[in-house]
Amino acid sequence: MVGKVGERSEQCAGQRRIEGAVAGAVHQQQPAARQGCVQAQRIARPADEVEPAVDDRGGDARHAARGLEHGVTEGLDWIAGEVRAIEPRDPTLKIPHMGWNRVHQVRAHALWDGIPDGERFYFVHSYFVAPVDAALTAAETDYGLRFTSAVARANIFAAQFHPEKSAAAGLRLLANFIRWQP
C-alpha cells in the first residue's frame, strides 16, 4: 500500500499542517516542514509508535521526506543533523533558492537507479540539513555553497528538492521509491 502522511490537513500560515498518519502504509511521502507550521515533523501518533517503522531495526515502512526545511519543532530525530540557513557567498543569489539545479550523487542508492549524476531537480527552500554523520549524505547541490540535498539511512530517504515538480527525473525517483526494498 502506498500512503500519504496526513489523515486530514489544514492551512497553517499558508502551508499544510499534518494532523495524522496513514496507518499501515508501506511507503509514506512526507511534505516539508516550514517556519510556523508543523508538518512532517509532527505526526499525531506518538513517536514511539512511528519510530520502529523507520529505524535500523528492520521496519518495513519506507519514508521519503521532501524539503528538509526549518521548522519550529525538534522533529522526530530520524536523521541527526543541524538545520542551517542557506547563506551563499555570492550576494546576487536570491533566497529562497527556487528553480532547477543539479543534484550530484555522492553515494549509490536504489532511488538513483536510471537517474544520471548531475541531473536537474526543482528546489524551493531557504534551509538545508547538515547531517552529523556525513556518510548519510546521498547527494549534494551547489548554490553559492555546496549543501546536502539528499540523505539516506536504512529505510529513510530524504530530499531537499521536490521530485513531484522535477519532470522525468522526479518521476523516475518516485517510481524507484515505490519499487524500493530496503
pLDDT digits (tens, 9 = 90+) for 13-22: 333 333 333 3
**Mean pLDDT for the stretch of residues 139-156:** 94
Long-range contacts of 56-60 (CB under 8 A, 24+ apart): 56/153, 56/154, 59/155, 60/26, 60/155
pLDDT in tens, 112-140: 999 999 999 999 999 888 999 999 999 99
What phi-psi label fits residue 77: left (phi over 0), alpha (psi between -120 and 50 degrees) or beta? left
1, pLDDT greater than 70: no
Question: What fold does the segment set 2-71+79-179 form as a domain?
Answer: Rossmann fold (3.40.50)
Q: Looking at per-residue confidence, does 102 or 63 come out higher?
A: 102
Q: Is 24 helix (H, G, I), strand (E, B) or coil?
A: coil
Distance, CA of 165 to chain centre: 14
**Domain coordinates in residue numbering, the chain:** 2-71+79-179
In which residue are the cell numbers 551563499 written?
88
Q: Residue 26: which pLDDT band, with cuts at 50, 70 and 90?
A: low
What is the Cβ-side half-sphere exposure of residue 161, based on CA atoms within 13 angstroms?
31
Residue with cell 507550521: 37
Q: What is the pLDDT of residue 19?
A: 34
96 or 52, which is more confident: 96
* pLDDT value at residue 29: 55
State mean pLDDT over 144-164: 93
Radius of gyration of the chain (CA): 15
Query: Mean per-residue pLDDT for 34-54?
Result: 42
Check residue 52 and give its pLDDT: 52
Higher per-residue confidence, 79 vs 64: 79
